[in-house]
Amino acid sequence: MKVFSLLLLSVFTASVCFAHQVVASKKENSYEAIYWNHETFEPYAKEQLKGVKAFGVNGKPISAGIDYSSSVPKILTDADVGMMSFSFDAGHWVKGTKGFEHVSANQAKGVVFGTLKSHKFSKTLFSWNEAFSKPVGLYMEVVPLVNPLMLKVGDTFPVLVLKEGVPLANAGFESSDEEEPGYKTDAYGIAQIPVKKKGLFIVAAKYYAQQYADPSVDAVTIQSSLSFTVK
């Protein structure tokens, strides 16, 4: 029964809500958190954006806050940003007779085959500083081991994946180039990510497990992404 449960969990989490990632976008006098879904950006409920951290071009933390009064939350900072990170609640999902739905189990109609809670962390790079090759304290994060802004199409991008500050072995990924690539982290939490296209590049590590603390779901999935522009 345990093997079947883990298999169902793996199939469920491998198929739902992984294509969405949160990316910081620079505007004229502020920044925005946009919800990316392969070639498009989708609206989201403002309260899903839980927190922001920002770091200046010198790699040091700067003040950053969220203005929820706009239709899309604005991120205000007290200096130019080199890197920005977000915490984002992607909500409850169920797999039912109609496929995957972004609802809680008690809102689903018909038979429910799986329930899931999703949370996302993200980092977006605007410029490079050696400080960004070190973790910044997210619950789960992708740490670049080289300057990604120097990467070209055809290069391989080495990253370190940490969960609670510890290297995460056997972590799967998705990227803006591939939805379900075959590469994973090794025993030391390191993976080699191929860069295949110019433009916005997003690589997200993913972790999932059965959930016991939240009685409303059977599983939890956590994703952490790193975004930058490939020239």
pTM, full prediction:
0.86
- C-alpha span between 86 and 58 (Å, rounded): 19
- C-alpha span between 123 and 162 (Å, rounded): 13
Give the pLDDT confidence score for residue 94 in this predicted structure: 83
Is pLDDT at 2 greater than 70 in this prediction? no
Nearest to 219 by CA among 3, 4, 6: 6
**Nearby residues of 218 by Cβ (< 8 Å), 6 or more positions away:** 9, 114, 115, 116, 210, 211
Is pLDDT at 66 greater than 50 in this prediction? yes
Is pLDDT at 80 greater than 50 in this prediction? yes
Give residue 113's pLDDT band: very low, low, confident or very high (50, 70, 90): confident
pLDDT (tens digit per residue) in 160-215: 999 999 999 999 999 988 777 889 999 999 999 999 999 999 999 999 888 777 77
- C-alpha span between 107 and 93 (Å, rounded): 10
Is pLDDT at 82 greater than 70 in this prediction? yes
Give residue 5's pLDDT band: very low, low, confident or very high (50, 70, 90): very low
Give the pLDDT confidence score for residue 126 in this predicted structure: 98
Place of tokens 């770091």: 55
Cross-strand partners of 1: none
Min mean pLDDT across 10-14, 53-57, 69-73, 224-228 is at 10-14
Is pLDDT at 12 greater than 50 in this prediction? no
What is the DSSP-derived secondary structure letter of residue 157? E
Is pLDDT at 17 greater than 60 in this prediction? no
**Average pLDDT of every residue of the chain:** 87
Give the pLDDT confidence score for residue 19 in this predicted structure: 64
Give the pLDDT confidence score for residue 222 in this predicted structure: 94
Is pLDDT at 152 greater than 70 in this prediction? yes
